[in-house]
C-alpha cells in the first residue's frame, strides 16, 4: 500500500449570528479537509481550521504541496517516520498554521490506516474504554443573549443528557461574569459539572480575582485563564484558588507540553490533535502527561478526540459541540456522535475515524479551486 496523493478542500458557512468569547469573535465556520489517497483506492480524511481565524487560502494549498513531497510513494503505516519527515522547524515553523496542516495530514493517515485494516482508530491506538463522559461546550456571548437566555441554553443541554457543561467568561467585567456563573449554577443544579473557559482573556492577577470569586459555585475547572505562553501565570492562578486550572488547547507538540508541565501550570491538560501536530504527537503528549499523573481532556473535534480519550488511561472527558456553536454540527458528516442519557458517548466501531464527510451538504459551501462558491 502506497500513498498516491495528498490534497485539501475547503468549506465555509456562516453562523446565524456571531458568537464571541473573552478574546475572539466567530462569524463563520471553516472546514479544511485533507484527503490522503492510496494505490488501494482507500482515502483517509483529516480536518482542521474550524474557525474564521483559519480562513482557507493559498497558504493551506502551499503547505499541503510542501508536505506531500515526503509522503508520495510511501507506506502510510510508517507514520512516525512521516511525522519526522514533515517536522522541519527551520523550514516550516514550530507553531501556527504549518503545524495545523501537518496535524491534519497525520490525522488523515490514521483514518487511512484504520480503513486499510478494518479497525477504528481507537483500537489501533490500544483501546482502553468503550464509553467516555462528555461535556457540552457553549455559553458564548451573543448580541441579545442575557442571563435568561444563557440559563435556557444550559437547561437545553441537560435535556440532551449532559452531566457537564462549559461556559465562557472574559468579555465583560469580572463581577458581571461572576453573576453569569451563578446563574448557570442555579440553572443546572448542584450535581452537574460546571466548566468555565476564559480563552486567554486575563492577566494573571485578574484571573486570580475571578477564580476566587467563582469558588462558591463549585467550578470543575478554570480553562485558559491567561495567555498560552504565560506558564508562570497559569501556575500563579493554580496556586491562588481551589479551582483546578485546565489549559493546552493552544499548545504545540510534546515540547510545548513539556515546558507547560514543568511550570506546574495545570492540573488538567487540553491538547488538541488538530493544533498540536496530529494524533501521533497527541499520543506523545498523553504519555508525557501520564508520567506526571495528569489527566487529558482534549479541546475540539469530538469526532477525532473520541478515539483518543478512549485509547488512553488518563483520558478524563470529551468536549462535545452542538448546533448552538456550529449550525451544521451533526450534518457535516454522514454519521453523528450522540450523547446518551448518562452524559456519555459510545466510541465508534467503524473503520478509521468512522466519520465520512457529507459532500452532498458540504459542496454547497466549498471555496477555492474547483468550487462553485
- Per the annotation, the verdict on 168 as an active-site residue is yes
| 82 catalytic per annotation | no
137: β partners: 166
Q: Per the structure block, which three cell numbers stand in for 155? A: 437547561
Q: What is the DSSP letter of 244?
A: P
The answer to whether the CB of 352 falls within 8 A of the CB of 114 is yes
Q: In which residue are the cell numbers 488547547 written?
A: 249
Backbone Cα Rg of the chain: 20
CA distance 121 to 307: 6
Smallest Cα–Cα separation from 47: which of 38, 56, 39, 114? 56
Residue from 166, 168, 193, 307 carrying the catalytic annotation: 168
- CA distances, 62 to each of 65, 92, 120, 234 (Å): 5, 11, 31, 36
Distance (Å, rounded) from C-alpha 42 to C-alpha 55? 28
Say if CB 305 and CB 319 are below 8 A apart: yes
For cell 476566587, the residue is 212
Rounded to whole angstroms, the Cα distance separating 111 from 54 reads 23
Residues 6+ apart with CB under 8 A from 291: none
37 bridge partner residues = 5, 43
| Cβ atoms 73, 2 nearer than 8 A | yes
C-alpha span between 172 and 238 (Å, rounded): 22
Catalytic residue among 234, 299, 305, 307: 299
User: DSSP readout, 58-89?
Assistant: HHHHHHHHHHGGGTTTS-TT-HHHHHHHH--H
Cell of 364: 454547497
| Residues labelled as active-site residues | 168, 299
Amino acid at each position: 500500500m502506497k500513498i498516491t496523493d495528498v490534497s485539501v478542500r475547503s468549506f465555509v458557512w456562516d453562523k446565524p449570528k456571531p458568537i464571541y468569547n473573552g478574546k475572539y469573535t466567530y462569524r463563520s465556520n471553516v472546514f479544511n479537509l485533507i484527503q490522503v489517497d492510496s494505490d488501494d483506492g482507500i482515502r483517509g480524511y483529516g480536518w482542521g481550521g474550524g474557525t474564521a481565524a483559519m480562513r482557507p487560502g493559498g497558504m493551506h494549498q502551499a503547505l499541503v504541496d510542501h508536505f506531500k513531497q515526503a509522503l508520495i510513494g510511501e507506506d502510510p503505516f510508517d507514520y512516525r517516520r512521516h511525522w519526522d519527515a514533515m517536522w522541519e522547524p527551520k523550514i516550516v515553523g514550530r507553531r501556527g498554521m504549518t503545524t495545523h496542516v501537518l496535524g491534519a495530514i497525520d490525522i488523515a493517515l490514521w483514518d487511512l490506516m484504520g480503513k486499510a485494516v478494518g479497525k477504528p482508530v481507537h483500537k489501533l491506538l490500544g483501546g482502553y474504554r468503550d464509553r467516555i463522559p462528555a461535556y457540552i461546550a457553549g455559553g458564548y456571548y451573543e448580541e441579545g443573549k442575557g442571563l435568561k437566555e444563557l440559563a435556557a441554553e444550559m437547561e437545553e443541554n441537560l435535556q440532551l443528557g449532559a452531566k457537564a457543561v462549559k461556559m465562557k467568561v472574559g468579555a465583560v467585567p469580572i463581577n458581571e461574569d461572576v453573576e453569569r456563573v451563578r446563574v448557570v449554577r442555579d440553572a443546572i443544579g448542584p450535581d452537574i459539572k460546571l466548566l468555565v473557559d476564559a480563552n486567554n482573556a486575563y492577566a494573571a492577577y485578574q484571573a486570580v480575582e475571578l477564580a476566587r470569586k467563582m469558588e462558591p459555585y463549585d467550578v470543575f475547572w478554570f480553562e485558559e485563564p491567561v495567555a498560552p505562553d504565560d506558564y508562570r501565570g497559569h501556575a500563579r492562578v493554580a496556586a491562588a484558588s481551589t479551582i483546578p486550572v485546565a489549559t493546552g488547547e493552544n499548545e504545540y507538540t510534546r515540547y510545548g507540553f513539556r515546558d507547560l508541565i514543568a511550570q506546574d501550570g495545570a492540573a488538567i491538560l487540553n491538547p488538541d490533535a488538530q493544533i498540536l501536530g496530529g494524533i501521533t504527537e497527541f499520543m506523545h503528549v498523553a504519555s508525557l502527561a501520564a508520567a506526571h499523573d495528569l489527566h487529558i481532556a482534549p479541546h475540539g473535534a469530538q469526532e477525532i478526540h473520541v478515539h483518543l480519550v478512549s485509547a488512553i488511561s488518563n483520558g478524563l472527558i470529551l468536549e462535545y459541540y452542538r448546533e448552538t456553536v456550529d449550525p451544521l454540527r451533526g450534518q457535516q458528516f454522514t454519521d453523528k456522535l450522540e450523547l446518551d442519557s448518562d452524559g456519555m458517548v459510545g466510541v465508534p466501531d467503524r473503520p478509521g475515524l468512522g466519520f465520512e464527510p457529507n459532500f452532498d451538504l458540504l459542496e454547497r459551501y466549498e471555496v477555492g479551486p474547483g468550487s462553485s462558491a
